[in-house]
Amino acid sequence: MAITKVYIEEGCTACGLCEDLCPDVFEMPDEAEVIENADLSSNEDCIKEAAESCPVEIIKYEEQ
């Protein structure tokens, strides 16, 4: 199954972990954001790692 959508729910603590783990998908201007038009298919492993590692568990993704 391929990741089709990545989003971040409210509650980001701006720890920067997602950006460190997956810089092609996440950026951290003030809070974590998903980079518009990021290549999700090439970054599936690090998206999943970022979601699993998030200390406040707010990184979500959908698969199809």
In the chain (64 residues long), the average pLDDT of successive 10-residue segments reads: 96 97 96 97 98 98 97
Residue 42 pLDDT: 97
**Structural Rg of the chain based on CA atoms:** 10
Query: Position of tokens 């783990």?
Result: 21
Residue 43 pLDDT: 98
**Domains with residue ranges and CATH for the chain:** 3-63 (3.30.70.20)
With 0.85 as the threshold, say if the pTM is over it. Answer: yes
* Rounded Cα–Cα distance for residues 4 and 33 (Å): 16
CB 33 within 8 A of CB 26: yes
Q: 3-class SS at 52?
A: helix
Residue 14 pLDDT: 95
* Rounded Cα–Cα distance for residues 48 and 57 (Å): 12
